[in-house]
Amino acid sequence: MKKKFNIDKFLKYFKDGNNTGRSLLLSDQEELDGPFKTKENDEYFLFTKHNSIEADFTKLDKSFKYSPILTIKDTPDPDDGLYFYDCEYGLLSSSKTKYSFLTKFSDYNINCELICFETFENTNSQTKENLSSYVLADIDKSKHFCKSIFLNNKYKWGSEKEYTELKGGNKFPKSILESFMPLYRNKKIFAKECGASNLKLKK
């Protein structure tokens, strides 16, 4: 018989910064982490792909709601298969708790985890709109991962004018672009060290 998920026990550990797997372990629910079978009969565990985070949470409890805020994807230039990197920040909520959770998923060469790094109580629309500031502050500017960056325009990015332009025509806010310039500069240095020449990265 499948064990019933206890959301309160899970969230007790998750909001303290434990990743999803450890939160399930500490709450004595580790069997709910997987493995599961795909249609192709392959095995997989929860929270190992950024494009299935919402589906994985709802597999635990149908009350979970997940919204991506920012996604970063990166590979080497030129891409020699040395690494791949996926990162996604998101907002997790549930009708069964008064808290909302700012989450971060990271995957470097299949070494992945999903953690909560900020917890909010009784969030409103203004709080949710301004979550981008927490996300930008968390990004490690010493890294070089910045090949593809996707912003969810449901959250406020930049000034009021920039945000309006983002929602109206998907124009990337200049002030937000500045936040990623250290990553871009590191990317060029890293690529040069790996032998790339005449590197052209899309800004």
Q: Confirm whether 123 is domain-assigned.
A: yes
Split into its structural domains, the chain has a count of 1
Q: What is the pLDDT of residues 160-203, one digit of tens each?
A: 898 888 888 778 888 998 999 999 999 988 888 877 655 444 44
Residue 51 lies in a domain: yes
Range of the domain at 77: 7-193
Does residue 181 fall inside a structural domain? yes
Q: Let me know if residue 201 belongs to a domain.
A: no
Please report whether residue 118 resides in a domain: yes
Q: Judge whether 200 lies within some domain.
A: no
pTM: 0.89
- If you write DSSP's letter for every residue of 141-183 in order, what string do you get? TTS---SEEEE-TTS--SSHHHHHHHHHH-PPPHHHHHHHHHH
Residue 139 lies in a domain: yes
Q: Which helix (H) or strand (E) holds 107?
A: strand 99-108
Task: Report if residue 199 sits inside a domain.
Answer: no
Centre a 10 Å sphere on the Cβ of residue 125 and count the other Cβ atoms it contains. Answer: 7
